[in-house]
Amino acid sequence: MNKQIKSKILLVGCGKMGSALLSGWLDQKIGGPNICVIEPQKSNLDTFLSHGVTLYNKLDDLELHYEPDLVLFAVKPQMMDEIIPAYKCFSGKSAFISIAAGKSITYFETKLGKHNAIIRAMPNTPAAVRRGITVACGNISVRKQVQETCIALLTAVGEVRWLDDENLIDAVTAISGSGPAYVFLLTETMLLAGMEAGLDRKLATELAVKTVAGSGEVLRQSSENISILRENVTSPGGTTEAALSVLMGKNGMQKLISKAVNKAIKRSKALDG
Ligand SMILES: NC(=O)c1ccc[n+]([C@@H]2O[C@H](COP(=O)([O-])OP(=O)(O)OC[C@H]3O[C@@H](n4cnc5c(N)ncnc54)[C@H](OP(=O)(O)O)[C@@H]3O)[C@@H](O)[C@H]2O)c1
């Protein structure tokens, strides 16, 4: 058992992010028997049972008088209005963490009561391989111990940064929350361009995937400025420079990514309320 975490945790929603978190906790020996999960599609979660985790289809199935220290919401933001009112039964007893995109701390304070400790966190899917990055922030009711527990839980799947300014979470969502999709899209576009240039799908896929993964590892290990890493691949008058003249042109990647990020920020704000 992880000494840091003795809290009783109720995980609500065990889809992609919920199961990534849960498996990270179990890997870190963060108390299986202290974890209850509510997930309607629990047929594919049997592997967690051997760690002592208890799975339920719905909140009503929980034992009478069960009181978690922490309730972590990992359901879609669009589901939140429907599911949240029932969790008011833990108001004043539990701290609440939400990883839902767009849903603000005020949203949860309104639904659950302002006096509750509420943490809003934004992880990302590399959490599934313990290489996520999560940014979190909390309301004034979050005491040090709850904050530390929350950070320890999120650290089980990668790195954690704490923000004092919740307004920045929409930007975080647009960069690191949605970011893995941008990188996967880049990989897809590279492989398709490779095929257009005559490579077969298998080789084009291998080249695109290994290039993106290898470059990611270089980024992770290097302390060099990112622009220098790029310049190191770019000989004057060479092939990379020719390609970058397009990607870094007037309507190139910077403009496109900024536009995409702004659209994600707008969507994040629109999901609130
Ligand atoms: N995926 C990402 O990249 C990412 C990144 C950062 C944050 N997030 C946030 O993480 C949250 C979960 O996203 P996800 O990608 O993990 O979605 P997901 O795979 O759809 O997982 C949500 C799970 O919640 C279950 N669920 C539905 N109603 C429920 C209820 N009443 N009680 C308990 N569980 C219920 C769903 O079951 P059914 O399938 O049967 O509906 C599903 O298994 C979202 O709020 C999202 O904004 C996601």
Does the beta carbon of 41 lie inside 6 Å of ligand 1?
yes
Same domain for 135 and 191, yes or no, is: no
Whether 71 is covered by a domain: the verdict is yes
> What is residue 41's predicted lDDT score, i.e. its pLDDT?
82
Helix (H, G, I), strand (E, B) or coil at 11: strand
**Domain count of the fold of the chain:** 2
Q: Is 249 in the pocket of ligand 1 (CB under 6 A)?
A: no
Map residue 21 onto helix, strand or coil: helix
Residue 174 lies in a domain: no
18 lines ligand 1 (CB under 6 A): yes
- What integer pLDDT is reported at residue 181 of this predicted model? 98
Residue 43 has pLDDT above 80, yes or no: no
pLDDT of the residue at 32: 84
Q: Quick one: 146 and 26 in the same domain? A: yes
Q: What would the two tokens of residue 120 be?
A: 């809003």
Identify whether 155 is part of a domain: yes
Nearest to 117 by CA among 137, 143, 136, 99: 143
Question: Is pLDDT above 90 for 141?
Answer: yes
126 domain residue, yes or no: yes
Residue nearest to atom 31 of ligand 1 (CA): 83
| Confidence band for 34, pLDDT divided at 50, 70 and 90 | very high
The predicted-structure confidence for 123-140, as pLDDT tens digits, reads as follows: 999 999 999 999 999 999
Tokens of 267: 């969507």
> Which atom of ligand 1 is found nearest the CA of 123?
6
1 found inside a domain: no
Q: How far apart are CA 199 and CA 192, in angstroms?
A: 9
Residues 62 and 156 in one domain: yes
Cβ of residue 37 lying under 6 Å from some atom of ligand 1 = no
Decide if 80 contacts 103 (C-beta within 8 A).
yes
Q: Is 16 in the pocket of ligand 1 (CB under 6 A)?
A: yes
| Range name among 40-44, 91-95, 194-198, 260-264 with the lowest pLDDT average | 40-44
Nearest CA to ligand 1 atom 34: 13
In a mutational test of the pocket of ligand 1, which residue from 45, 75, 119 has the highest number of ligand atoms less than 8 Å from its CB?
A: 75
pTM comes to: 0.94
- Paired with 167 in beta bridges are none
Specify the ligand 1 atom closest to the Cα of 100: 45
Q: Is 124 found in the same domain as 13?
A: yes
Q: Is residue 158 part of a domain?
A: yes
- Predicted local distance difference test score (pLDDT) of residue 1: 45
As a whole number, mean pLDDT of residues 51-73 equals: 94
The residue out of 143, 169, 195 marking a domain boundary is 169
pLDDT band at residue 42 using 50, 70 and 90 as cut-offs: confident
Last residue of a domain, one of 138, 169, 200: 169
Q: Are residues 121 and 186 in the same domain?
A: no
- Domain extent for 22: 9-169
Of 127, 70, 135, give the one whose Cα is nearest residue 101: 135
Whether 133 and 259 map to the same domain: the answer is: no
CATH at 221: 1.10.3730.10
Domain C-terminal end among 169, 187, 221: 169
Q: Which pLDDT value is given to residue 166?
A: 96
Q: Please check the confidence at residue 106 and state whether its pLDDT lies above 90.
A: yes
- 208 within ligand 1 shell (Cβ under 6 A): no
The CATH number that applies at residue 68 is 3.40.50.720
